[in-house]
Each structure stands twice: as structure tokens, then as C-alpha cells.
Structure 1
């Protein structure tokens, strides 16, 4: 029986990339902490650095990524590699960006605050909120390769 890594919002972790580099990231939100565990297999994170270093940068700022939907800082993916320790936790710290502390996202036209349902969004408001799009691990690696 394998032990699961304990992970909390604010924890820093590394993602080993296919090109040999490391991404240093911070957990923003873990879905299993939402009431009803509707999002129990998903978490959201931001990336602080991509390179050869595994250290947490002194100044926390998040990298941006591009895809067909535009520019964003938050990546949603499955929890398996994080909880298994394949993506090891290397420390913990406060989430300093206020919009990440009050983490809101749109999932299927519903607005959630830290995973708790707030309201149904009118379609004209969809663009005002981050859309939850779950990235597979290969896509995570491709996104990280933008840096």
C-alpha cells in the first residue's frame, strides 16, 4: 500500500518536465476540500518558475500561459501525481495574490468561489471569470514548455 502525500493550498511542489527541467508551482485550490467533494479529483495551481532550479523563488509571482482561450495563470489538472508524490511538495507559504486567495472560476456556466457554488452565470458574464478546463498531464507538460 503506497502512502499518499498530504497537500494543502499554499504548498509549493515541483513538476519534472519531459525536457529535464523542473517547474516550481504553488497549489491554489484543492477540489477535495469543497463541500460535497464535487471536484475531489481536481486541483488548481500556478507556476512560479521553469528551469533547472528546484528552489522556491524569493519573490512569488506567477507565470502566464497561452492557449486558444487566451492568457491565464491557473492550470487545473487531476490530483493523482500530486497526491502520489510524483510531484513532490517542497515547502509551503501564503498565497499572496488576492485573486487567488478568493479563487473564482466558471464551470459549465456556474460560478464557484473556492469550489463552492455561488450562482448561475448569465452567458454574457462567462468571459469575466476563469473557465475550469482540466488539463491532462501531457498538456500540462506542453504548457510548461512555453517557458
Structure 2
């Protein structure tokens, strides 16, 4: 190979891509029982942490792209999981609030993190914590890069 630095096995980004795809596939079956996609599950977790949140804060919390979030929220509203309402103090702002069905599926979802954890028996608890720490560094550095 003329440029070994281009070998896929040497790429952090490709490893992250493969890991992300593998995790999403792992979640798919469990989330299908809740009729949620992974991005919808992320939104639900954010709302279970803090209900009645502005869309702006939800975007910050989830790191989901704004145009994708619009579609996600619309589908979840159509499923009866949440409402999108005007902020009483600022009509330009929209708030997202859980409906009863959105609150109820939290109990069904409570076992998912441990079920996912069991899918990766070669990762110790310490490995998982270290991985989270390293990924936080990657995210921080990638977001700190100045783009042209």
C-alpha cells in the first residue's frame, strides 16, 4: 500500500463508525418492542430526565441535528408520546412535554441499559467508564476544531 496511513485498520473514525452501527443494531430489537427508533429513544431519555423542555435545550442535550429533530418530534407526537406546545412566556419558543404514554414506557425502557450492557461481556464496568471518558474527549476535541 502506497500510503499506510490510509489503511482502514489504522482509522479511529472507522472504528467509531463500526461501533456506532453495532450498537444501533443491538438496540434495534429492544426498541422495536417500544415502537421507538434509537434517535427517538435518545429524545425520550432526555425527556425522562427533564420534562417540559425547550426544543433548543433538547437539541443541546441530545446533539441531534435540528432538521432531524423536527421529524423525530413530529413522529413521536403522532404516536402520542409527547406534545409540542408554545411557551407561555415567549410565543417563539416551543416546549416539549411528555404525554401519559411517553411517561408509561419509561418503566418498560428501564431494563434496556442493563440488557445492552449484557451484550458486551468482554467490557468490564471499568472498561465502560474508561470508554465513556475517552469518547467524551474525542467529542470535545472534535467540537473544538475550528472549521473553515
TM-score of the superposed pair, with normalisation by structure 2: 0.25
TM-score, scaled relative to structure 1: 0.25
Which structure has the greater CA radius of gyration? 2
- Whichever structure has more helix as a proportion of its residues is 2
